[in-house]
Amino acid sequence: MRPTGKLHLGHLVGALENWVSLQGEYQNYHLVADYHALTTDPDTSAIYQNSLDMVIDWLAAGIDPAMSPVFRQSQVKEHAELHLLFSMLITTARLERNPSLKEQVRDLELETVAYGHLGYPVLQAADILIYKGEVVPVGEDQLPHIEITREIARRFNTQYRLVFPEPEGKVTKFARLPGLDGRKMSKSLGNAILLSDAAAAIAAKMRTAVTDPQKVRRNDPGRPDICLVFAYHNKFNQQEVAEIRQGCESGQLGCVDCKMRCAVKVDEAVAPLREKRMYYESHPDEVRQILEGGEQRARAVAHRTMQEVHQAMGIG
pLDDT tens track for 47-83: 999 999 999 999 999 999 999 999 999 999 999 999 9
pLDDT value of position 316: 74
pLDDT at 176 over 90: no
Task: Go through the domains of the chain in sequence order and give each one's CATH number.
Answer: 9-176+284-313 (3.40.50.620), 199-277 (1.10.240.10)
pLDDT tens track for 235-291: 999 999 999 999 999 999 999 999 999 999 999 999 999 999 999 999 999 999 999
pLDDT value of position 145: 84
Separation between Cα atoms, residue 310 and residue 290, nearest integer Å: 30
Report which of 287, 298, 12 is spatially closest to residue 174, judged by C-alpha positions: 12
pTM of the model: 0.90
pLDDT at 13 over 70: yes
pLDDT tens track for 98-120: 887 877 777 777 788 889 999 99
- AA letter at 19: W
153: exposed, middle or buried (Cβ count in 10 Å: 0-12, 13-18, 19+): buried
